[in-house]
Amino acid sequence: MIAPNEPFTQVGDGENEPYPNATTNACKLCTPLGACLAFRGVQGAIPFLHGSQGCATYIRRYLISHFREPMDIAASNFSESSAVFGGASNLKTGLANVLTQYKPALVGLATTCLSETIGEDMPGHLRDFAQTPDGENAPPIVSVSTASYRGTHIDGFHAAVRGLVESLCPSATPGDRTITADSPVAVFPGMVSPADLRELKRSVAAFGLPLTLLPDYSDTLDGPSWADYEKLPSGGTPVDAIRALCHSRASFEFGRVLAGADTTAATLLARRHGVLPYRIGVPVGLRETDRFTELLTALSGNPMPVELVAERGRLIDSWVDGHKYVFEKRAVVYGEEDLVVGLAALLAEIGVVPVLCASGGRSGRLAAALRAAAPELDERTVIREGADFADIAEQAAALRPDFLIGASKGYALARKLGVPLIRCGFPIHDRIGGQRILHVGYAGAQALYDRIVNTLLERKQGDSPIGYSYL
Amino acid sequence: MTSPVSQSISVLPARAASVTTVGSADAAPLACGQASLAGSVTQRACAFCGSRVVLYPIADALHLVHGPIGCAAYTWDIRGAQSSGSQLFRNSFSTDLREMDVIYGGEKKLGHALRELIARHNPKAAFVYSTCIVGLIGDDVGAICKEVARETGIPVIPVASEGFKGTKKTGYRAACEAVYQLVGTGDIGDIPPVSVNLLGDFNIAGETWVIQDYLRRMGVHVVATLTGDGRVDAIRRCHGAKLNLVQCSGSMTSLAKMLEKDHEIPFQRVSFFGIEDMSSALYAVAKHFASVDPAMLGRAQQVVREELEKLMPELRRYRQKLAGKKAAIYVGGAFKAFSLVRALRTLGMSTALVGTQTGDKDDYQQLRAMCDPGTLIVDDSNPLELAKFCLEKDVDLFIGGVKERPIAYKLGIGFCDHNHERKEALAGYVGMLNFAREVHASVMSPVWKFTPRRASLNSHLSTLNSPR
C-alpha cells in the first residue's frame, strides 16, 4: 500500500478494480513461460514442463512468434490417469526420451498448475529417476516450482535463474572461493532481449572485466541461419560457468522490483559464497545505466571506456536536439514491472510524462521502485499493478496519451485510441525483429529515444494538412 | 543431401511404427491415434486447444477461460478467424485463478466473473472452458453455469476442455457437445428447402464468405456457419438445414453426427482447399439437391468454369516456376493433408513428406494410396524428426504452422503457413491462387542462396558460412 505522502496516484489493487473477478486481455503470461525462456539461455539446455503437452505447445508457439527461432520444450504429457494417479512414470519416460534425443547438457524442469495442484513430489521423482539406467548418467536436472496460479511469467523467469544457482552452486565449504584477475562479474540481467544481452556483454567487456551472464539467450534465440540442423541451438551460459559463479568477484541483478524479493540468484550467491550483490535497476535510460557503469568502474578499477563515454555524450547531445518534440508528451507504459520502471525513468529524463505505468505483476513494490528510479515523477503518473488491458484501456481513455510504449499486445488499444505504439519488451508478435530491440545501456537509450522522437515527428507530419518535408 | 545431424537423429523406438515410406515392403497400418510419447516434443496441443479453436469464431458469444492465466493469454486474438460484426470473440477473458482460488475453489470467482462480463458485454451466450486444474479443485462448473444462465437469461454453456484429457480431438468433441446445446432452440419456419450448414470452416481470412458466395451463386441457402463468422442465433437454427457440409473433418464430424441422429440431416465430408477438392465439394452439393433442383448442377459447373477462367492463366505462370519442387507437409488434420497433396500437384510440385497430428488409420491408408512411392508418412511427429526428414528429402518448401516455421527457415527452406493463425485466405479458387502466390513467394525468393545450407556452391560464401 502507498504511504500518505505518496506523490503518485495509485489505483486498483484488488479492492478498487472495476471487474475484480475477471481478467480481460491479460498484461502478463503464465509462470512456466518465463522459466522456459530462462532455461533456453543455458548452453545445451532443454526446458521440460511437468504437465499437459498443451502448455509446452502454447508456450513454444508464443515464444517462436516473438523470437522466430526454434524453441523446443519437452513435456511429460499428462493424461487423465496421470492427473489422477500422478505423473511419476510420465516424467521418467519423458526424461529418458529427451536425454536420448537431445543429449542435453542440462534439463530445465518446470512444473505447471496441473502438477502443482496434484502435489507432485519433484525431488522424490528425481531421486527415483537417478536410480534408473537413464538417470545414472543424466546431466544436471534443475527443477523449479512454477505453478501458473502463483505470480506471472517474470516470476517463473527469476525462479529458473535462482533454481540454476541453487542447484549448481551448492553451499560453500570454507576456502573454496578464489578470486583472481580472471574471476568474472556475474550478471543476472532479467528478462531482456537478445540485443540487450549482447549490449551488456559489450559494456562489461569494455571495462576489461570477465563476465558470466545468466541466462544468455543472445545466440540461442537470435542465431544465424544454419548449415546443418542444431538439435539445441548453440550459445548460452555454459553449465560449468554457472557452477563457477561462486568465484565471481561480484554480482549484478537487475530490477528494482526484483530487489525487494527475499531469495534470488544474487542473494543466494551472497549468502552461500559471500559474492557481493549489486541489486540495481534494469539499466534503461541514462541514470540507471550510469549506476551500472559507475559500479563497473569501481569493480574494474578502470575509468569508463572512451567508447562508452562517447556514446553517453552523443545520447545527451541527441536529447538536446530533440527535447522540444517530446516535452510534456504523455505516455502509457506497460509490461513487466522492472521494464516499466526502466522505461518510465527514461521517459522522465527526456521530459515525457508517463501518465500510466501499468503491469500485470503484483509485487506491491512498483510504486516504490518508480519513485527511486525517477524521483521527478509527480501526481500525473498513475500506477497500476495487477492490470489487464481492459483496465489500461479504461485509464488510458481519460489520460489522453500521445503514445503507448510496450509489447505488441497493446496494439488493439493503440488502434482504438488512434495513437502510435512504440514496440518494446515481450512479446512483439506483429513485427519482425523483436529479439533485436535494444533497451539497455546508452545504446539502448539512444535507440529508444530516436524511435520515440521520430514516432512523434511522423505523427505530427502525418497529421499536418501541409506535410512539410523539412522539420 | 548428406547431413551429419540428420544421420545422428533417430526416431525413438517407441515411435518407429508411426513412420513409414510409401511403396515400402512394410504394409502394416501406421501406428496412430495414441497419446503422444512423453518427452517426444510433440507438435500436438491439448484438449483445451481443440475446444478453443472450434468455438473461438462464434463472434457474439463470451468465451471465458476458467483457470490460471496462461491458457487465456496464449489464445488471445491470435487467429485469422474474421467476423462481419461483433468482435467480442477477439478478447481473452479469464478467471485468472490464483493460489487462494485453487485452495478454496474457484466457483464463486467464476460466478462473479460471468456476471461482470455478461453485464459489461451483453453477449448472446457464454462458453466456459475448463482448464486442467478445474476438475482437480472440484469446481462444479455446470452448476454455476446453470445459475448464471437463469439469472441473466442467456445460455451459459460449460465446455469440458481440461487440457490433460487428450489431444485437440478430445477438445473438438467437447466443443461440439457444448455448441449442440444451442442447436434446436431457434425457429426454423422460414428456412428454404435447398439449405446447408457449413461445419468446420472457421472463416480464416474470410474463407467462409468465399464459400458462401459460391453456394449463393448455385442457389444454396446457408443457414449457419460453424463456426466461422458464427452467430449464436444462427446456430440455434442450424437444425433446419437440409445438408451439413463438413470441412476439417476432425473438428466437427461429431456435431454432424449428432445432427444426423437427432434431426436426420445427412452430412458430407468436403474440403475447400485446392481446385479438385473445391470443385468436388460444389458438385457434391449439387448432386445432393438434384431431386429438388435439377438445374443446380449446371449452375455449379458454371461457378467452377467462371472461377477457373479467372484462376488458370495466373496459376499456369506459377506452375512453370514451381514445377519439380519438393514439399513437406505437416498439419493438424488429414483432410487438409489430402487437399495439400493434390494442390501441390496442381502446381507441379511433389510431396516428399506428409504428416499430421491427428490422422487415423483410414486417413493414413488414403495418404499411402495417393502419394508417390518414396514419400514419407508420419503421425504425431516432432521437431527433430521433421528436421531429419526435411534434410533427408532436401525439400524446397514446408507447409505447416508457426511451430514448424523455424525448422524450415533455419535450414534454408521456404515455408507456407496453413494453420489458423494465418491471415491469408487459402480456401476456394481464390485461395488456390493465394496459395500458389505464397508458395511462389517463399520458394522462389532470392534469399535462400545466401543461407549457409544452400550456399555450398557459392565459393566465396562457403568459408563465411562454415558451422561454428
What are the tens digits of pLDDT across the range A210-241? Answer: 999 999 999 999 999 999 999 999 999 999 99
Strand partners, A388: A26
- pLDDT score, position A10: 57
Is B74 within 8 Å of A28 when comparing Cβ atoms?
no
Minimal Cα distance from B100: which residue of A? A149
Fold designation for A306-463: Rossmann fold (3.40.50)
Is A53 within 8 Å of B44 when comparing Cβ atoms?
yes
pLDDT in tens, A177-211: 888 888 999 999 999 999 999 999 999 999 999 99
The yes or no reply on domain A185-300 and CATH 3.10.20.30 is no
Residue from B1, B3, B6, B41 to probe the interface with A (highest A Cβ count within 10 Å): B41
* Section B310-333 average pLDDT: 96
Is A23 within 8 Å of B68 when comparing Cβ atoms?
no
Minimal Cα distance from B45: which residue of A? A54
The H or E element that residue A469 is part of is none
Residues of A in contact with B165 (CB under 8 A): 80
Q: Is B448 within 8 Å of chain A by CB?
A: no
Q: Is B132 within 8 Å of chain A by CB?
A: yes
Residues of A in contact with B41 (CB under 8 A): 56, 72-75, 98, 101
Q: How far is A371 from chain B (nearest CA, A)?
A: 28
Is B39 within 8 Å of A71 when comparing Cβ atoms?
no
Domain limits, CATH 3.40.50.1980, in chain A: 31-168, 185-300, 306-463
The pLDDT > 70 percentage for chain A reads: 96
- pLDDT score, position B26: 76
Minimal Cα distance from B93: which residue of A? A24
Q: Helix B249-263 crosses helix B47-55 at what angle (to 10 degrees)?
A: 70
pLDDT in tens, B349-384: 999 999 999 999 999 999 999 999 999 999 999 999
Q: How far is B255 from chain A (nearest CA, A)?
A: 24
Q: Is B98 within 8 Å of chain A by CB?
A: yes
- pLDDT score, position A5: 39
Q: Is the pLDDT of residue B467 over 60?
A: no
Q: Is the pLDDT of residue A15 over 90?
A: no
The pLDDT > 90 percentage for chain A reads: 91
Q: Is B336 within 8 Å of chain A by CB?
A: no
Q: Is the pLDDT of residue A4 over 60?
A: no
pLDDT in tens, B99-113: 999 999 999 999 999
Residues of B in contact with A412 (CB under 8 A): 77, 90
The H or E element that residue A58 is part of is helix A53-67
Q: How far is A260 from chain B (nearest CA, A)?
A: 21
> Reduced to 3 states, what is the DSSP secondary structure of residue A265?
helix
Residues of B in contact with A80 (CB under 8 A): 164-166
- pLDDT score, position B8: 87
* Section B409-417 average pLDDT: 97
Query: Closest by alpha carbon to A21, among B324, B459, B304, B120?
Result: B120
Is B45 within 8 Å of A48 when comparing Cβ atoms?
no
Fold designation for A31-168: Rossmann fold (3.40.50)
Between the two ends of chain B, the Cα-to-Cα distance in Å is 20
pLDDT level of residue B195 (50, 70, 90 thresholds)? very high
pLDDT level of residue B25 (50, 70, 90 thresholds)? confident
Q: Is the pLDDT of residue A12 over 70?
A: no
Cβ atoms of A51 and A114 within 8 Å: the answer is yes
Q: Is the pLDDT of residue B194 over 60?
A: yes
Helices (H), A247-399: 265-273, 286-300, 306-326, 337-350, 366-373, 389-399
Residues of B in contact with A31 (CB under 8 A): 70
Report the distance separating Cα A147 and Cα A120, nearest Å: 11
Minimal Cα distance from B92: which residue of A? A25
Is B411 within 8 Å of A226 when comparing Cβ atoms?
yes
Q: Is B91 within 8 Å of chain A by CB?
A: yes
Q: Is B191 within 8 Å of chain A by CB?
A: no
Q: How far is B348 from chain A (nearest CA, A)?
A: 28
Residues of A in contact with B453 (CB under 8 A): 225-228
Restricting to B residues 142-181, those with a Cβ less than 8 Å away from any Cβ of A are 162-166
Average pLDDT score, chain A? 94
Q: Is B419 within 8 Å of chain A by CB?
A: no
pLDDT level of residue B459 (50, 70, 90 thresholds)? low
Restricting to B residues 381-400, those with a Cβ less than 8 Å away from any Cβ of A are 383-384, 387-388, 391
Of A18-32, B156-170, B377-391, the poorest mean pLDDT is in: A18-32
Is A53 within 8 Å of B98 when comparing Cβ atoms?
no
Q: How far is A71 from chain B (nearest CA, A)?
A: 8
Tell me how far CA of residue B56 lies from CA of A131, B83, B281, B419, in angstroms. 46, 11, 25, 15
Tell me how far CA of residue A140 lies from CA of A26, B42, B431, in angstroms. 34, 23, 50
pLDDT level of residue B45 (50, 70, 90 thresholds)? very high
Is B410 within 8 Å of A98 when comparing Cβ atoms?
no
- pLDDT score, position A379: 93
Q: Is the pLDDT of residue A1 over 80?
A: no
- pLDDT score, position A176: 74
Report the distance separating Cα A188 and Cα A270, nearest Å: 13
Restricting to B residues 51-80, those with a Cβ less than 8 Å away from any Cβ of A are 64, 67-78
Is A229 within 8 Å of B411 when comparing Cβ atoms?
yes
Residues of B in contact with A97 (CB under 8 A): 12, 14, 37-40
Report the distance separating Cα B43 and Cα B328, nearest Å: 15
Residues of B in contact with A75 (CB under 8 A): 38-39, 41-42
The pLDDT > 90 percentage for chain B reads: 92
Report the distance separating Cα A207 and Cα A301, nearest Å: 9
- Name the residue facing A57 among B5, B44, B165 (closest C-beta): B44
Q: How far is A230 from chain B (nearest CA, A)?
A: 7
Q: Is the pLDDT of residue A19 over 80?
A: no
Residues of B in contact with A53 (CB under 8 A): 36, 42, 44-46
The H or E element that residue A45 is part of is strand A45-50
Q: How far is B391 from chain A (nearest CA, A)?
A: 8
Residue from B2, B51, B74 to probe the interface with A (highest A Cβ count within 10 Å): B74
Q: Is the pLDDT of residue B468 over 50?
A: no
Q: Is the pLDDT of residue A14 over 50?
A: no
Is A23 within 8 Å of B94 when comparing Cβ atoms?
yes
- pLDDT score, position A9: 60
- Name the residue facing A55 among B70, B162, B401 (closest C-beta): B70
Strand duo B195-201 + B243-246: pairing? parallel
Is A70 within 8 Å of B406 when comparing Cβ atoms?
yes
Q: Is B461 within 8 Å of chain A by CB?
A: no
* Section A306-326 average pLDDT: 98
- pLDDT score, position B457: 55
Q: Name residue, grid cell 460444389.
A: B282
* Section A74-93 average pLDDT: 94
Is A71 within 8 Å of B102 when comparing Cβ atoms?
no
- pLDDT score, position A177: 83
* Section B68-87 average pLDDT: 95
pLDDT in tens, B150-166: 999 999 999 999 999 99
pLDDT in tens, A339-385: 999 999 999 999 999 999 999 999 999 999 999 999 999 999 999 99
Is B39 within 8 Å of A69 when comparing Cβ atoms?
no
Average pLDDT score, chain B? 94
Report the distance separating Cα B79 and Cα B287, nearest Å: 34
pTM of the model: 0.96
Residues of B in contact with A77 (CB under 8 A): 35-40, 42
Is A229 within 8 Å of B3 when comparing Cβ atoms?
yes
Is B391 within 8 Å of A228 when comparing Cβ atoms?
yes
Is B453 within 8 Å of A55 when comparing Cβ atoms?
no
Is A24 within 8 Å of B117 when comparing Cβ atoms?
yes
Residues of B in contact with A79 (CB under 8 A): 35, 164, 166
The type of residue at A121 is: D
